[in-house]
């Protein structure tokens, strides 16, 4: 399949993403302005970032197997020890690459 959009293709793609993304963000703020913040809703909103991380990581873990598990474990351990996202990123990538180099994937 050829997706040649001409000389303005990049701009058209970016504009299409803006048209799709902006209403979703604004709609979320508008919707939450009409939801009463009960203790239950607060607990749900506080748990949401963890749920987003899990829903992002689990498919990667399922697809990539042992090297991904080792990389995620190394990143998690590094985060708990150092509290530095950049160090955790480096540790996770290095651990996953080492696991692949050792033939675990």
Domain match, 105 and 57 both = yes
What residues have CB less than 8 Å from 42, skipping those under 6 apart? none
Q: How far is CA 66 from the centre of its chain?
A: 19
Within 10 A of 78 (CB to CB), how many other CB atoms are there?
Answer: 21
Domain match, 14 and 63 both = no
Q: pLDDT-derived band of residue 3, with 50, 70 and 90 as boundaries?
A: low
Number of domains in the chain: 2
Q: Report the alpha-carbon distance of residue 83 to residue 42 in Å, rounded.
A: 25
By residue range, what is the domain housing residue 10? 1-35
Q: Report the alpha-carbon distance of residue 41 to residue 57 in Å, rounded.
A: 25
Q: pLDDT-derived band of residue 70, with 50, 70 and 90 as boundaries?
A: very high
Task: Find the mean pLDDT for residues 89-98.
Answer: 96
Tens-digit pLDDT profile for residues 17-68? 999 999 999 998 999 999 999 999 999 888 888 888 889 888 988 898 999 9
Domain match, 51 and 23 both = no
pLDDT of residue 5: 66
pLDDT of residue 2: 57
Domain match, 15 and 46 both = no
């Amino acid at each position: 399949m050829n997706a040649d959009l001409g000389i303005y293709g990049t701009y058209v793609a970016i504009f299409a993403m803006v048209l799709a993304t902006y209403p979703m963000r604004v709609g979320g703020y508008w919707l939450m302005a009409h939801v009463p913040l009960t203790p239950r809703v607060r607990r749900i909103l506080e748990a949401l970032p963890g749920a987003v991380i899990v829903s992002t990581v689990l498919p990667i873990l399922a697809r990539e197997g042992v090297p991904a598990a080792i990389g995620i474990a190394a990143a998690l351990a590094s985060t708990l020890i150092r509290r530095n996202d950049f160090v955790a990123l480096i540790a996770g990538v290095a651990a996953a690459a080492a696991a692949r180099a050792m033939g675990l994937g």
